Amino acid sequence: MRTLISSAFISLDGVVEGPGGEPGYRNSGWTFKDVEFLAEAFEIKGREQEEATAILMGRTSYEAFSPMWPDMEDFAGYKAMPKYVVSTTLTESDLVSNWGETTILRSVDEVAALKETEGGSIIAHGSASLNQALSDAGLIDRYHLLVYPLLLGAGKRLFSATDKDTQKLKLVEHEAYANGLQKNVFDVVR
């Protein structure tokens, strides 16, 4: 079974919406506007590109990433990887042509089937609604969280408010940086 990793920039109060400056969000760009950049805090992002064998996104994140990431040097490692977009509305004609193989999945059940295939880890970037659905379905195996020392208040959160049983996590890697950022890597305990 493949490992599904949720990777997120997250505020201390759980907000993941609009970290990179995407338009239309109250606190858009909070990852670079409000916290000093320290390159060493982002080591895990390079490691994700080296270790992952596929990318998983929801429609909104795909629409935000696909116009920029294919041509960005920082994300060159993702270009050749298969990409999976979970959407009930996206069509093949909505996909960009310069970012390699992209498959549209229509449900969380199709993500569960993808996890059963041969191959290495799958990295899920952004995608608040998708992450909530994947977590609620018990499909996430690991979290890579870069926690920002900010309380944003409004915005989509990484974790759902669904009334469900406690899910235990095991901290397997962590580091704190001079700018207040924290790296927390958790495995989901089954």
Q: DSSP of 73-142, one letter per residue?
A: GGGHHHHTS-EEEE-SS--GGGS-SSS--EEEE-SHHHHHHHHTSSSS-EEEES-HHHHHHHHHTT---E
The predicted pLDDT at position 107 comes to: 97
Which residue in the block uniquely carries the two structure tokens 């239309």?
24
83 DSSP β-pair partners: 55, 102
pLDDT tens digits along 64-123: 899 988 998 888 889 989 999 999 999 999 999 999 999 999 999 999 999 999 999 999
**Which of 35, 36, 38, 99 has the alpha carbon at shortest distance from 63?**
99
105 DSSP β-pair partners: 86
Please give the Cα distance from 43 to 6 (Å, whole number).
16
Percent of the chain beyond pLDDT 90? 83
Query: Highest mean pLDDT: which of 18-22, 136-140, 159-163?
Result: 136-140
- Per-residue pLDDT at 6 exceeds 90: yes
122 DSSP β-pair partners: 4, 54
The predicted pLDDT at position 24 comes to: 83
**Averaged pLDDT, 161-172:** 94
Residue 186: band (very low, low, confident or very high) from pLDDT cuts 50, 70, 90: very high
147-to-29, 68, 121, 124, 162 alpha-carbon distances in Å: 15, 24, 22, 17, 22
Using left for φ > 0, alpha for ψ between -120 and 50, and beta otherwise, residue 51 falls in: alpha
Percent of the chain beyond pLDDT 70? 100
The predicted pLDDT at position 109 comes to: 98
- Per-residue pLDDT at 62 exceeds 90: yes
Residue 80 is encoded by which pair of tokens?
Answer: 């050749």
Chain CA centroid to CA 2, Å: 16
The predicted pLDDT at position 26 comes to: 85
Tell me the whole-structure pTM to 2 decimals.
0.94
* Count of C-beta atoms within a 10 Å radius of residue 87: 18
- Per-residue pLDDT at 50 exceeds 90: yes
- Per-residue pLDDT at 180 exceeds 90: yes
